[in-house]
């Protein structure tokens, strides 16, 4: 449930920052209408950095945060808004207010408010598309975050990889322990996967006992290391079920997005890789190259790089599982 709480806290912090900014705008209006001592918070060239709102911005502008692209739009709108407010204030002081100066200020305010609205929409949308059982984001958010991630990656020169994971023999957990216990296992697995995932790489609940992640990496090797580390992390953190400890494993399929490939198609390939893992023993991660070559990630020990076992290239076998 941590992710839902994070969104709620984010909304509270944003509302507080907006309230502070209203107070600042109120001060500007008061000076314009009643005159008085001009305020450094409006006239200083770096007023946007001194403004309390900028604290909220720097806190949320962190690289890799799925909404960072939208926060950076708020950042620029905020700078412009302060610049136009300064122009207006100076014009008021020099009794030289013109319709252009006034409309520039209005336009900048509008831009600033719109950028905040967009981010709020993003937060509400995120909140509405969380799974109530596990607290994880659902498929819909995977697609919207993918679009934001793509824009960021084009600049950063990284690639996006899709890792699909399916719990092994989950039906037998339901059958042996009951459906409620199965639900508890899903909740625990979600928590364990989140605790093992890299910061800003959310784990999504894709379907019943399937989870999915988008990994940003400079190479297939780096992405495979993340995938193998995550699967190992789950295996080495048994789930408490009453007085018993249950080792839960997943089978994963990982692919790198090809140039121009849709997320939908990449997930389809990751699914094929994953099914190959199911059919060759489970509790493993299979990497599918751009040409469709399948490789089993061999080492799942944290700190070691997982090798790609070229001997496990089983394209012929794979064709049995379209
Ligand atoms: N408790 C619980 N069970 C679920 C939920 N969603 C799906 N399932 C169950 O997950 C089970 C998935 O079973 P299968 O698709 O046969 O796969 P599996 O037993 O995990 O076996 P492999 O994937 O082949 O390793 C089904 O019994 C579903 O009813 C859920 O939200 N809660």
Tell me, what CATH number does 244's domain have? Answer: 3.30.70.270
Judge whether 288 lies within some domain. Answer: yes
| Residues 167 and 189: beta-carbon distance below 8 Å | yes
Range in 15-19, 295-299, 313-317 the model is least confident about? 313-317
Going by C-alpha positions, the residue among 272, 270, 269, 274 that lies closest to residue 284 is 274
Judge whether 133 lies within some domain. Answer: no
Q: Is the CB of 175 under 6 A from ligand 1?
A: no
Q: How large is the average pLDDT for residues 56-61?
A: 84
Q: Which of 209, 210, 216, 235 is catalytic?
A: 209
Q: How large is the average pLDDT for residues 94-104?
A: 92
Question: Could you tell me if 28 and 175 lie in one domain?
Answer: no
Question: Could you tell me if 186 and 260 lie in one domain?
Answer: yes
Question: Could you tell me if 163 and 195 lie in one domain?
Answer: yes
Question: Could you tell me if 234 and 118 lie in one domain?
Answer: no
Mutate to test the pocket of ligand 1, among 183, 208, 252 (most ligand atoms within 8 A of CB): 208
User: CA dihedral in degrees (98, 102, 108, 113; nearest 10)?
Assistant: 180
Judge whether 134 lies within some domain. Answer: no
Determine the angle formed by the axes of helices 68-93 and 99-128, rounding to 10 degrees.
160
Ligand 1, atom 5: closest residue by C-alpha: 208
**Domain span at 240:** 139-318
Judge whether 44 lies within some domain. Answer: yes
State the pLDDT confidence band at 308, using cuts at 50, 70 and 90: low
Q: How large is the average pLDDT for residues 101-127?
A: 93
Q: Is the pLDDT of residue 168 over 80?
A: yes
Q: Pick from 83, 107, 128: which residue ends a domain?
A: 128
- Please report the atom of ligand 1 found closest to the CA of residue 174: 1
Q: Is the pLDDT of residue 322 over 70?
A: no
- Please report the atom of ligand 1 found closest to the CA of residue 180: 1
Q: Which three-class secondary structure state does DSSP give residue 158?
A: coil
Q: Is the CB of 208 under 6 A from ligand 1?
A: yes
Which are the contacts of 162, defined by CB distance < 8 A and separation ≥ 6? 212, 213, 214, 215, 254, 255, 257, 263, 266, 267, 269, 270
State the pLDDT confidence band at 2, using cuts at 50, 70 and 90: low
State the pLDDT confidence band at 318, using cuts at 50, 70 and 90: very low
Q: Give whole-number Cα distances, 269 to 91, 158, 162, in Å.
A: 61, 20, 9
Ligand 1, atom 32: closest residue by C-alpha: 183
Q: How far is the CA of 212 from the centre of ligand 1 (A)?
A: 16
pTM of the model: 0.74
Judge whether 114 lies within some domain. Answer: yes
Question: Could you tell me if 174 and 293 lie in one domain?
Answer: yes
Which are the contacts of 63, defined by CB distance < 8 A and separation ≥ 6? none
State the pLDDT confidence band at 95, using cuts at 50, 70 and 90: confident
Q: Is the pLDDT of residue 213 over 90?
A: yes
Ligand 1, atom 11: closest residue by C-alpha: 171
Question: Could you tell me if 188 and 122 lie in one domain?
Answer: no
Question: Could you tell me if 111 and 143 lie in one domain?
Answer: no
Judge whether 197 lies within some domain. Answer: yes
Q: Where are the alpha helices (DSSP H) in the chain?
A: 2-34, 40-43, 47-50, 52-60, 68-93, 99-128, 139-156, 170-177, 179-196, 220-235, 263-279, 315-318
Q: Is the CB of 277 under 6 A from ligand 1?
A: no
Q: Could you report the per-residue pLDDT of 237-265, keeping only the tens digit for each?
A: 999 988 899 999 999 999 999 999 999 99
Instruction: Count structural domains, the chain.
Output: 2
User: CA dihedral in degrees (217, 317, 309, 150; nearest 10)?
Assistant: 0
Q: How far is the CA of 278 from the centre of ligand 1 (A)?
A: 14
Q: Is the pLDDT of residue 56 over 90?
A: no
Ligand 1, atom 10: closest residue by C-alpha: 171
| Average predicted confidence (pLDDT) for the chain | 86
Question: Could you tell me if 117 and 90 lie in one domain?
Answer: yes
| 210 given a catalytic annotation | no
Question: Could you tell me if 122 and 148 lie in one domain?
Answer: no
Q: Pick from 69, 102, 128: which residue ends a domain?
A: 128
Q: Is the CB of 167 under 6 A from ligand 1?
A: yes
Q: How large is the average pLDDT for residues 309-315?
A: 39
CA distance 226 to 236: 15
Judge whether 235 lies within some domain. Answer: yes
Q: How large is the average pLDDT for residues 84-98?
A: 88
Q: How far is the CA of 207 from the centre of ligand 1 (A)?
A: 10
Ligand 1, atom 28: closest residue by C-alpha: 171
Q: How far is the CA of 170 from the centre of ligand 1 (A)?
A: 5
């Amino acid at each position: 449930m941590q992710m839902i709480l994070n969104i709620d806290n984010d909304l509270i912090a944003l509302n507080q920052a907006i309230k502070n900014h209203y107070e600042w705008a109120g001060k500007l209006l008061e000076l314009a209408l009643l005159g008085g001592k001009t305020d450094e918070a409006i006239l200083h060239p770096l007023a946007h950095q001194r403004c309390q709102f900028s604290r909220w911005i720097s806190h949320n502008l962190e690289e890799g945060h799925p909404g960072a692209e939208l926060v950076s739009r708020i950042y620029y709108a905020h700078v412009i808004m302060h610049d136009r407010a300064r122009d207006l204030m100076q014009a008021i002081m020099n009794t030289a207010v013109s319709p252009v100066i006034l409309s520039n200020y209005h336009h900048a305010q509008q831009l600033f408010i719109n950028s905040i609205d967009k981010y709020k929409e993003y937060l509400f949308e995120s909140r509405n598309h969380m799974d109530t059982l596990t607290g994880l984001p659902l498929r819909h958010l995977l697609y919207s975050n993918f679009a934001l991630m793509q824009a960021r990656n084009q600049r950063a020169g990284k690639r996006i990889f899709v890792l699909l994971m399916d719990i092994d023999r989950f039906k037998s957990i339901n059958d042996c322990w009951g459906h409620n216990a199965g639900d508890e296992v899903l909740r625990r697995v979600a928590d364990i996967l989140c605790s093992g995932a890299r910061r800003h790489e959310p784990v999504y609940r894709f379907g019943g006992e399937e989870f999915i992640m988008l990994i940003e990496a400079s190479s297939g090797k780096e992405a495979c290391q993340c995938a193998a580390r995550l699967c190992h992390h789950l295996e080495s953190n048994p789930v408490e079920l009453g007085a018993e400890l249950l080792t839960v494993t997943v089978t994963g399929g990982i692919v790198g997005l090809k140039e121009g490939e849709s997320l939908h198609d990449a997930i389809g390939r990751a699914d094929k890789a994953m099914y190959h893992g199911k059919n060759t023993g489970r509790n493993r991660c299979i990497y599918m190259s751009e040409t469709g070559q399948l490789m089993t990630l061999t080492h799942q020990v944290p700190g070691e790089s997982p090798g790609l076992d070229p001997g496990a290239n089983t394209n012929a076998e794979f064709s049995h599982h379209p």
